[in-house]
Structure 1
């Protein structure tokens, strides 16, 4: 699969980033991870100063999506804990409110995805004078 196809998949899965549910966000995170790993694998074929910023943007997106996933898991655990341990209900509600505030204020994943869209592999490839498509047999030019 070419890097271009992986990026299209990431854009498809990340469309409407702010409105994605946990499962959709997880799929976008996996797509970002696969694109980053593929970019790292083929990185040596291109000038480092052209590919490094793109790879770093992918890494930031993956981190942002991971943070949002962590917050969703924490919110779920706090909800369950508050229901099971009544004496902790108020503290759990406070913590859940704090998490909700931080998540609603966070624009990280949307900003990271926009940065990746602005530096598509095809633009990097044009600057490098090479194609991002690698033959199935792995042979290079």
Structure 2
């Protein structure tokens, strides 16, 4: 009798990759740089901090240093996740506390992300090639 091998769809692989990355997330900037390099393709397009103006991944990483110098950042659990055609749409809460201030100063921001995954040469897992991040609230 021949064994059947279950093959996951690309969308299933993308969702698995998202949850794997989420579990590995670390709050420090240097750790985040390493983490983000393992999730986002080097030429990924990021739409996250300046309205609808896309920027490249490396510029996005550099801008994040400013936020990390000012705030301690924590990510909540993925609350909802929908996947279609290699795109994950998920929601979570981001917790931003001004450095040196107490938890009572923490801003809780509702976030929705759309991560467009692709197989990128040189990587053994799906990588995000485009991020669209939408927040409800601000600091």
TM-score, normalised via structure 1 length? 0.30
Report which structure shows greater RCO (CA 8 Å, sep ≥6): 1
The structure with the largest strand share of the pair is: 2
The structure with the largest helix share of the pair is: 1
TM-score, normalised via structure 2 length? 0.31
